[in-house]
Amino acid sequence: MSTNASTATATRKLTIARAMAEATAQEMRADPRVFVMGEDVGPLGGVFGNTRGLFDEFGPDRVRDTPISETAFIGAAVGAASDGMRPIVELMFVDFFGVCMDAIYNLMAKNTYFSGGKVKVPMVLMTSTGGGYSDAGQHSQCLYGTFAHLPGMKVVVPSNAFDAKGLMTAAIRDDNPVVFMYHKALQGMGWLGTEKGATVPVPEESYSVEIGRAAVVREGHDVTLVSLGVGVHHCLRAAKALEEEGFSAEVVDLRSLVPLDRDTVRASVARTGRLIVVDEDYHSYGVSGEIIASVAEHAGCRLKAAPKRVAYPDIPIPFAPTMEQWALPNADKVVAAFHQMMRES
Amino acid sequence: MTTEIAVPEDLWEGDTEGVITSWLVSDGAEVAQGDLVAEVMVEKAQYEIEAPLSGRLAIVKEEDEVVAKGSVIATLES
């Protein structure tokens, strides 16, 4: 079963954390080569809940707690994947990539190319992103653009539990390395701020969501709001607010950064003529710039107004709650960006 | 018959209050006995609440509401 649309037939809802664990468990039952490694992924079930239940079902050989050395266990996963296993490893906070980037982008992302296609590296690197709960500058970044910029690995970012389960299943089955970036505010963990819109009905049977396909999650004709992860929920709230003012906003959930579904974004902007990109990653050199460029450089581009972005300012993430909340994208900022766009055009 | 779903007295140690982080079924949904219906977080640890019997569930305590042991968080109509 492969699908691109959320179905609301089931009454059972899951958080993204549970959806990730369920997809992982189903793939582990089906394929003995799949195993999990990382810090606190074992009896604790992951600090963000996404490996809960796996240790009890599969035991310490297939759900392995590691020492605090991302370099060692991500490097080990690349070796295991190159030798026929299908590891899932967790980089607990994406901010920690600094110590293990060689294993990620020189080994994981490039070994297939360097070997002329003889070596496959079928591994999933799952990692938490985002802030909003005062965890400061080394635990709150998104870094979507950093990973999507480097060739050789797929990058997915779910905004809800249905997509999270389907994308996780697809990522585990993929013969390429996939970076699975999940936003902490969508995990259903109370202390991280709970976005209710991410907890949605999820089928119990296994299914995959194709990597590389964006979704139009709300249709509209006055402006296209493009986002990913928690930003999709900001956009949906902004679209509701704009509807009360008489404007109709379309919302595109990218779901995947690599491959990037430029066609869906361009087709939407072709209908609306206006584009606002919402991204919790840094403003400059990132996803928001790439989306705007992808639309602007397209020969068929006909914009009614200069595009805008609501992104994170180019500053280290503040610890102080008032300062952090000031910096984060939100629905009000999206609505304000639309108002400014209409004044300017 | 209406049955209350209360936070079990032995769900966690001590008398600390918790918060409902997620409802895993919608208000008004039919649930079966033993279904996982909600998650409660206490000091960064999550605890699960199951349906004590089958029936139609009505939510009393919403997400982000504070609950104590014994708090009624939903009712079941069976």
A58-74 pLDDT, tens digit per residue, is: 999 999 999 999 999 99
Q: Where are the domains of chain B?
A: 2-77
Check if A297 is active-site. no
A94-113 pLDDT, tens digit per residue, is: 999 999 999 999 999 999 99
DSSP string, A201-233: E--SS--B--TT--EEEE--SSEEEEE-THHHH
A192-209 pLDDT, tens digit per residue, is: 777 889 999 999 999 999
Residue of A nearest to B20 (CA): A190
| Residue B50 C-alpha, separation from nearest chain A C-alpha, in angstroms | 13
Dist CA A224 CA A81 (whole Å):
40
Residue A129's beta-bridge partner residues? Answer: A183
Question: Into which CATH architecture does domain B2-77 fall?
Answer: Beta Barrel (2.40)
Dist CA A12 CA B29 (whole Å):
9
Task: Please give the interface size between A and B, counted as residue pairs whose CB atoms are below 8 Å apart.
Answer: 41
| Residue A182 C-alpha, separation from nearest chain B C-alpha, in angstroms | 17
Mutate to test the interface with A, among B21, B26, B54 (most CBs of A within 10 A): B21
Dist CA A237 CA A296 (whole Å):
26
Q: How far is CA A166 from CA A5, A46, B66, in A?
A: 11, 20, 33
Q: What is the pTM of this model?
A: 0.93
Domains and CATH numbers, chain A: 13-201 (3.40.50.970), 215-344 (3.40.50.920)
Say whether the ipTM exceeds 0.85: no
Residues of chain B found within 8 Å of residue A18, distances taken between Cβ atoms: 24
Which residue matches tokens 């918790």? Answer: B18
Q: Which of A22, A39, A70, A195 is catalytic?
A: A70
Paired tokens of A344: 């300017």
B32-65 pLDDT, tens digit per residue, is: 999 999 999 988 788 999 999 999 999 999 988 8
Dist CA A95 CA A263 (whole Å):
31
3-state class of A80 per DSSP? helix
Q: Which of B22, B31, B35 sits opposite A194 (nearest CB)?
A: B22
| Residue A195 C-alpha, separation from nearest chain B C-alpha, in angstroms | 10
Which residue matches tokens 């895993």? Answer: B24
CB within 8 Å: B41 and A191: yes
pLDDT-derived band of residue A79, with 50, 70 and 90 as boundaries? very high
CB within 8 Å: A194 and B46: no
Paired tokens of A35: 């195993």
- Among residues of chain A, what percentage have pLDDT more than 70? 97
Which residue matches tokens 């300062």? Answer: A323
- CB-CB contact of A235 with A227 (8 Å): yes
